[in-house]
Copies of this chain bind each other. A is one copy, B any other.
Amino acid sequence: MDVLEYPDYPPSLNEQQQEYLLTNLKDWSIAHGLAVRTPENPSGPQAITAPVTLFPSLFPRICFEQARSVAKAYNELYSAIASDEEWLGSVVEELIEIDYFMAELWKVHLAVKREGYVQPLNLGLFRSDYMVHVDPSDATMPLCVKQVEFNTIASSFGGLSTQVSAMHDHLLKKHAYPETTSSLIKDSSLQQSSSAHDLAKGLAAAHQAYGASSTGNPTCVLFLVQESERNVFDQKHVEFALTGSHGVEIFRLAFGRVLKDTKVDSNRKLIYTPPHLPHERFEVSLVYFRAGYAPIEYSDAKAWEARLHIERSAAIKCPSVLLQLAGTKKVQQVLATPHSPHLKRFLSDPAQSEQILKTFAPIYPLDQSEAGQEARKLATNLKTAARYVLKPQREGGGNNVYRKNIPGFLRELPESHWPAYILMEMIEPPAQQNVIYRNGGMHKGGVICELGVYGACLWKNGSYNGEREVKENFEAGYLLRTKGDSSEEGGVAAGFGSVDSVCLVDL
């Protein structure tokens, strides 16, 4: 396994080196909006450097290329799933009893279907998240990426990712990294993320495809957002790229104000009236969801009414309800269950299927199916359970149970409740270290890196029987998110996240 280990990293810094690096990091980040609002003033003029790594984390070049190479195939796959109402319906059906959220989303779709959809265009801005997986026993592919999850709604950090990769590049050019790392941190190893501009390009394509206003009002894009978003600058970088490069008019609308500030006219055009311009009307070409993804946001009937209101309108939705459903954990599990027949249904190209298959970590249901029976054996045996994680199927629900804790947990749980969980093979990333800079403090220790690859896909549905015409399909930059692995005393606290960029290495 020697060849699959990272070199010694990151370098130690003496006092002068640390001060120089930190000063440049703090100055560059604030000058370029690599920032978040503070918890004390979530809507004030104050901001603070976003949590970032001091060094770009090491990442195997072969894995980075693998993840990027499947981006377009994933765009194909999820646009196909979201276009196949029958299949999605069968998946949702299995969960209706245990997942109120999926059930309600499905109801929104059914209501619009009854009335008839008036907007055939769909925009997906996706992010497929991976970890590096080391398996020395696999002679053909001992090092690869495995998918953690696939996001079809509100994929974040596309703005800050572009900034953090530029910051690490700036620090390299400013000689802030010690000479001793020059064989690792160098121009050819750093990768700039174009995510802010690429996501804006996706939004612009949808806005363009919507066409001219038919109401006589100017068109606009709505960013649907949460109230007092601390991570607002992440979204703003995408917004500024969209206005700056494409001249698109954008307004931010809090999810809670949808019913107050918009109406659906007799042709189901979505009409927006900004509260500060009560005599103006804008025809909404596209609703970009940076809210409305979590069950907790739908705390009352009004929220569901607002979601239906948007869904039935003629605005393009990024995403539609069906596309949001396509991104649920359950769908990921169904696709990634060993010997699953489903991938073939959506991808006609066997080469594409095979590429995607290689990024799946096996996921099992815990039901009465054949795969479920196999999973139950794996999960209740202490030895085999050590390679798995148990996750609730429900969206946004509960905590995961890891490895050797699984058999005991299942013993306490009535067997009738087992199908509410899935069993996923653990991804085993190579050990590595970095320093996370967060709220003015530095935290050095073991870290876990998650690579997200963004994708943009615009397509047109005929009916919802799987037929579709893809109009745009491109990869849209990447994100590296790094958090403490809590594996060492005094190290980086678990879940202590930060934005990062890759320093590619050939292992």
Contacts and interface: CB of A to CB of B under 8 A. Distances in A.
A276 B45 contact: no
A444 interface: no
Interface in A27-82: 27-33, 35, 38, 41, 43-49
Contacts of A232: 27
A243 B20 CA distance: 17
Given A46-B38, A46-B46, A48-B45, A274 B26 contact: no
Interface in A439-467: 439-440
A240 B275 CA distance: 38
Nearest to A38: B46
B233 A27 contact: yes
Interface string A161-189: 00000000000010110010000000000
A373 interface: no
Nearest to A229: B27
A41 B277 CA distance: 39
A329 interface: no
A148 to B, nearest CB: 29
Nearest to A50: B45
A30 B16 contact: no
Contacts of A14: 276
A48 B46 contact: yes
Question: A-side binding surface: helix, strand, loop or mixed?
Answer: mixed
B35 A237 contact: no
A44 B17 CA distance: 17
B33 A32 contact: yes
Contacts of A277: 175, 179
A41 to B, nearest CB: 8
A236 interface: yes
Contacts of A275: 16, 20
A491 B471 CA distance: 57
Contacts of A30: 30, 33, 35, 45, 47, 233
Nearest to A17: B276
Interface in A375-415: none
Nearest to A247: B173
A31 B236 contact: yes
A236 to B, nearest CB: 5
A179 B16 CA distance: 54
Q: Copies per complex?
A: 2
Interface string A466-491: 00000000000000000000000000
Interface residues of A, number: 44
A409 B41 CA distance: 48
A440 B16 CA distance: 35
Contacts of A46: 38, 46-48, 440
A223 B46 CA distance: 27
A19 interface: yes
A439 B29 CA distance: 20
Nearest to A22: B45
A209 to B, nearest CB: 23
A110 B482 CA distance: 58
B45 A439 contact: yes
Given A32-B33, A33-B32, A276-B17, A440 B44 contact: yes
A274 B47 contact: no
A274 B38 CA distance: 33
Contacts of A274: 20, 175
Given A16-B276, A33-B30, A47 B44 contact: no
A31 B439 contact: no
A3 B48 CA distance: 47
A308 B49 CA distance: 38
Contacts of A240: 31
Contacts of A32: 33
A233 to B, nearest CB: 5
Interface in A418-453: 437, 439-440
Closest 3 CB pairs of A and B: A31-B33, A45-B49, A20-B276
28 contacts: A14-B276, A16-B275, A16-B278, A20-B275, A21-B276, A26-B43, A26-B44, A27-B232, A28-B236, A30-B30, A30-B45, A30-B47, A31-B35, A31-B233, A31-B236, A31-B240, A33-B33, A35-B47, A38-B46, A44-B440, A45-B437, A45-B440, A46-B48, A173-B243, A175-B274, A175-B276, A175-B280, A179-B277
Given A27-B236, A29-B45, 17 more contacts: A14-B276, A16-B275, A16-B276, A17-B276, A27-B233, A30-B33, A31-B33, A31-B35, A31-B233, A31-B240, A38-B46, A41-B440, A45-B49, A46-B47, A46-B440, A175-B277, A176-B276
